[in-house]
């Protein structure tokens, strides 16, 4: 955790036991100063603790400690080990030299200081010889370029094996390439692909992030990081990578297919976010332009797939055929539904007539008794007609159900743009290929002036001429 550095200058002149850290903005902080993971940790007299990044520091003055004896030696050796460990991945010898010199000044006459002097000699030798770090090795710039070229050749061979499906043959070549040049983006990209295939998503992500550190606008790498982020349920991060991928590789078919899959699968509560809307706008623009360009070549996008003209025309013909059948069936639907409505109307009319006939059979006798007369024969004729109407209606309903089932069957056969729900990696075809490194050219050194000799150039000493190469 990084704390905001106070604007006041924390300097108490005259305290000999305090360390001083000079910041690049001119401020000076005082306290107990120790090396941290990514900078310096300052503990003030009041117990405050500040973590300061390395890039904010101009100079550090570490005062000699008053702790003496075996305990002091043990503390110094522990701090030496921490310092040595923190410098294991250092690439600038001057930084290590400066820190070891400060340590030696701070812990004079201790075994740790002697050990620091030995490390100082190693780093000074590297500086004097102009060595550079290449992985775990310190080599000359010329050898560094040779190792990079070797790594590039090995990575290219590994790529061919992976392309041919020979993963076992590719893996040792990748290991050798990364040992020679840990920053080889070709090897790192392929390494990320193989780790993804092995379902080692976090390791694959690390390899591809190292590619991105050297090739920030490499579209396939951005796409693959988006795929990994999506699988790890980091939806927002995946959308950000897809946005960068579309910008880096405009109108890339596979990238746009993945974006289409992502947008189709995006939860509704995330569809209105600013990130999702940006991705949608970029996708829509590029997809329209891509479809126009592909149509001229006889290629058409259908959901997340790309079809040839022949395949697309077959899909269209199938759609028209099935739609024609559905349209004809719709007419049958209308006819059957109209017949059912007419049967219902006729049945309701019959029911009203029956109720009227029933009501006409009731009479009250002079003594007040309610008497029901026999129903007329027409009443029973209407009942029989109702039974016939009900039977016809049941048949019509059955026919309607049959039409619905047939329509559902046809609809299921209707070709529609479909999405698989799968976002795919761009394979070795997207591997970033780097050219062989150009070794540094030796700088001409000044030669002392040579004495002038009077030489007559005769036929034997005349410079030879060389014909230009064909």
Domains of the chain: 19-133 (no CATH), 139-309 (1.25.40.10), 311-413 (1.10.287)
pLDDT at 68: 54
pLDDT at 458: 31
pLDDT at 460: 32
Question: Which residue would you say has higher pLDDT here, 441 or 325?
Answer: 325
pLDDT at 441: 52
Q: What is the pLDDT of residues 114-169, one digit of tens each?
A: 898 888 888 898 888 888 887 778 878 888 888 888 999 999 999 999 999 999 99
pLDDT at 92: 86
Question: Which residue would you say has higher pLDDT here, 277 or 36?
Answer: 277
Helix (H) or strand (E) holding 286: helix 274-296
Average pLDDT for residues 378-394, to the nearest whole number?
Answer: 93
pLDDT band at 64, cuts 50/70/90?
low
Q: Rounded CA gap, 375 and 117, in Å?
A: 128
Q: What is the pLDDT of residues 185-207, one digit of tens each?
A: 999 999 999 999 999 999 999 99
pLDDT band at 70, cuts 50/70/90?
low
pLDDT at 421: 82
**Both tokens assigned to 7:** 């604007």
Average pLDDT, the chain: 83
Average pLDDT for residues 53-59, to the nearest whole number?
Answer: 85
Average pLDDT for residues 309-322, to the nearest whole number?
Answer: 91
Q: What is the pLDDT of residues 253-300, one digit of tens each?
A: 999 999 999 999 998 888 889 999 999 999 999 999 998 998 888 888
pLDDT at 434: 67
SS (H, E, C) 220-249: HHHHHHHHHHHHCCCHHHHHHHHHHHHHHC
DSSP secondary structure of 288-326: HHHHHHHHHTTEEEETTEEEEHHHHHHHHHHHHHHHHHH
- Work out the angle between the directed axes of helices 219-231 and 185-197 (0-180°, nearest 10): 30
pLDDT at 18: 67
Alpha carbon distances (Å) from 18 to 13, 29, 77, 106, 338? 9, 10, 20, 11, 99
pLDDT band at 45, cuts 50/70/90?
low
The whole-model pTM stands at 0.58
């Amino acid at each position: 955790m990084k704390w905001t550095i106070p604007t006041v200058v924390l300097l108490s002149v005259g305290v000999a036991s305090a360390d001083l850290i000079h910041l690049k903005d001119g401020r000076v902080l005082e306290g107990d100063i120790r090396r941290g993971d990514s900078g310096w940790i300052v503990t003030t007299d009041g117990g405050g603790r500040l973590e300061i990044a390395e890039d904010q520091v101009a100079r550090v003055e570490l005062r000699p400690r008053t702790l003496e004896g075996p305990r002091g030696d043990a503390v110094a050796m522990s701090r030496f080990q921490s310092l040595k460990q923190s410098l294991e991945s250092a690439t600038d010898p001057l930084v290590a030299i400066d820190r070891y010199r400060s340590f030696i000044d701070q812990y004079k006459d201790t075994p740790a200081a002697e050990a620091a002097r030995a490390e100082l000699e190693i780093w000074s030798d590297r500086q004097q010889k102009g060595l550079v770090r290449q992985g775990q090795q310190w080599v000359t710039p010329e050898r560094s370029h040779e190792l990079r070229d070797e790594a590039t050749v090995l990575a290219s061979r590994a790529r061919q094996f992976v392309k041919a499906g020979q993963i076992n043959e590719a893996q040792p070549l990748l290991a050798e390439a990364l040992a020679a040049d840990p920053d080889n983006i070709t090897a790192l990209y392929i390494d990320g692909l193989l780790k993804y295939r092995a379902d080692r998503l976090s390791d694959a992500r690390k390899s591809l992030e190292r590619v991105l550190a050297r090739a920030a606008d490499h579209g396939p790498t951005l796409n693959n990081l988006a795929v990994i982020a999506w699988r790890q349920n980091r939806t927002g991060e995946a959308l950000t990578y897809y946005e960068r991928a579309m910008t880096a590789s405009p109108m890339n078919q596979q990238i746009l297919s993945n974006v289409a899959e992502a947008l189709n699968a995006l939860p509704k509560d995330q569809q209105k976010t600013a990130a999702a809307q940006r991705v949608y706008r970029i996708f829509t623009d590029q997809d329209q332009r891509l479809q126009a360009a592909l149509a001229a070549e006889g290629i058409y996008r259908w959901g997340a797939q790309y079809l040839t003209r022949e395949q697309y025309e077959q899909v269209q013909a199938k759609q028209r055929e099935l739609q024609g059948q559905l349209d004809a069936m719709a007419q049958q639907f209308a006819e059957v539904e109209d017949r059912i409505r007419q049967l219902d109307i006729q049945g309701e009319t019959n029911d009203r007539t029956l109720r009227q006939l029933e009501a006409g059979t009731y009479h009250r006798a002079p003594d007040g008794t309610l008497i029901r007369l026999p129903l007329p024969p027409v009443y029973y004729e209407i009942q029989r007609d109702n039974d016939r109407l009900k039977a016809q209606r049941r048949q019509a309903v059955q026919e309607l159900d049959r039409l619905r089932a047939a329509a559902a069957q046809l609809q299921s056969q209707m070709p529609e743009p479909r999405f698989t729900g799968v976002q795919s990696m761009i394979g070795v075809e997207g591997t970033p290929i780097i050219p062989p490194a150009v070794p540094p050219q030796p700088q001409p050194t000044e030669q002392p002036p040579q004495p002038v000799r009077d030489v007559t150039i005769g036929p034997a000493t005349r410079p030879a001429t060389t014909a230009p190469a064909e």
